[in-house]
Structure 1
Amino acid sequence: MTPLPIAAPLTIAIDGPAAAGKGTLAKRLAAHYGLPYLDTGLLYRAVGRLADEQGVDLDDAEAAGAVARALDAGAIDEAALRGREAGELASRVAAHPPVRAALEAFQRAFAADPRGAVLDGRDIGTVICPGARVKIFVTASAEVRARRRTDELAAKGRTVEYERILAEVRERDARDAGRAAAPLKPAADARLLDTSELDIETAFRAACAIVDQAPH
């Protein structure tokens, strides 16, 4: 009798630029499929914030790498790292190979959970989990992402200019896509999910369809 094939762990790699909706989708997918979830961007935000607080030159790759190697992932305060400023700090330190090398081991260990896992970031499908069963690249136009960010900040009572946020979104996109270490780009076998015209429920259903259609 031929044994039934053993299904590979359901590892879902979600990548994409800032404010495309990948974090929200990743959390929903993790809850829906009963999988552990890791927002890898928090690791880089924590390194960026710590480096800034310690007066480290954010353009100094080795100094930033030292901060990353000393990071206690269990002590990360997620609430304190949500915000545009922390995102900008993360983007700057994430360009450095020593920082990425220090954090990659933690991410790969998380992804190795025998149950599977959901990870979102900017190099999950290309670097961290190139063998993931499901890879989704979540994107949206820069204008839509800037409007989302502007509305989010306005809802928190902050006065922001859409044009300034749009310029920052484009600058961060260029920095993330142009860096030498793990540039932001879709994996060759990733499914593209453009959320520009989608609400969260429609985007979630589309993401579930991608997962459900993936080979087991």
Structure 2
Amino acid sequence: MNKITIAIDGFSSTGKSTVAKQLAKHLGYVYVDSGAMYRAVTFYAMQNGLINKDDFNVEGLIYQLPKINISFTFNESLGFAEVYLNGINIEKEIRKLEVSSFVSKVAAIPEVRQQQVKLQQKLGDSKGVVMDGRDIGTVVFPKAELKLFMTASAETRAQRRYDELIERGDDVTFKDVLKNVQERDYLDSNRKDSPLIKADDAIEIDNSNMSLEEQFNKILQLVTMTIEDLE
């Protein structure tokens, strides 16, 4: 059976990573969370005093990019690959709201994007990959056999994110989470370098009223049809 590249783009908290992991596990593909890579760079910037709510030392971050080594290690007990920054597992740290509040600013830096895109493209050289992010179908894999664009209302996405953070024990309010979602939407869609846009040949999926099972089955059907068309 032919292996394909599956590019999943869309707004924050649309469940891109969830369905990408499901697909990768079901198909035996490699899953790459491109958003986690930008979160890792953001976490590095925070830890090294390069970004806070009042200041962003862009030149300092660019200068230190060669020092940032991001890797993925599969965790059998969790069923997915966790993110490592310079050899240290930072999977939990990069999911916090504070990191979310800065990641769009970091991801907008052209030098950061160039570094990560090269790594992402290298990870997908052999096909059989599912990657999610903001510019996967437009920049990273413009020739991907299947491109999806995930969307849902800001309120729906904020509620999902809020529930996830509360379940994890984070001290957040729905108002703050909604504000973060709306701000990230604006920044992601309006940055100069690789803005979040739907590729012309991407299939849009609004999952506002879909269960995880319904979403997975719909997308798996699209994958099956795409592979059959290639055979």
Could you tell me the TM-score, scaled by structure 1's length?
Answer: 0.90
Tell me the equivalent position of 1:20: 14
Structure 2: distance between partners of 1:199 and 1:67? 42
Aligned runs of 1:47-126 on 2, under 5 Å? 47-57=41-51, 59-74=56-71, 75-76=84-85, 77=89, 78-113=91-126, 115-126=127-138
Give the share of equivalent positions with the same residue, in percent.
39
Structure 2 counterpart of 1:11: 5
Structure 2 vs 1, CA of residues 80 and 158 (structure 1 numbering), >3 Å: closer, same or farther? closer
The whole-number CA distance in structure 1 between the counterparts of 2:65 and 2:155 is 32
Q: CA RMSD in A?
A: 1.7
* Structure 2 unaligned blocks of 5 or more: 72-83
* Whole-angstrom distance in 2 between the partners of 1:65 and 1:94: 12
Shift of 1:55: 1.3
Partner of 2:92, secondary structure, is: helix
Alignment partner of 1:39 out of 22, 29, 33 = 33
Is the 1:61–1:99 contact (alpha carbons within 8 Å) kept by the matching residues of 2?
A: no
The runs of at least 4 aligned residues of structure 1 exceeding 4 Å deviation read: none
* Equivalent position amino acid for 1:205 in 2: N
Kindly provide the amino acid, as one letter, of the partner of residue 173 in structure 1.
D
Shifted more, 161-170 versus 23-32: the winner is 161-170
| Contact 1:91-1:175 within 8 A present in 2 as well | yes
Task: Verify the 8 A CA contact 1:26 1:119 in the aligned structure 2.
Answer: yes
How far apart, CA to CA, are the structure 2 residues paired with 1:159 and 1:49? 19
Q: Secondary structure at the match of 2:205?
A: strand
Select which of 189, 194, 197 maps to 1:185. 197
Tell me the distance in 1 between the aligned counterparts of 2:198 and 2:68. 28
The separation in 2 between residues aligned to 1:193 and 1:138, in whole angstroms, is 5
1:156 Cα deviation from its structure 2 partner: 2.6
Could you tell me which runs of 5 or more consecutive residues in structure 1 were left unpaired when the two chains were aligned.
1-5
- Residue 66 to residue 102, structure 1, CA distance change in 2 (3 Å): farther
Q: Structure 1 residue 62: deviation in Å?
A: 3.3
Q: 1:60 Cα deviation (Å)?
A: 4.0
**Higher-strand-fraction structure:** 2
The AA in structure 2 aligned to 1:54 is N
CA drift of 1:149 comes to 1.3
**Amino acid of the structure 1 residue aligned with 2:225:** Q
> How far apart are the structure 2 equivalents of 1:62 and 1:108?
25
State how many pairs are aligned: 209
- TM-score, L = length of structure 2: 0.84
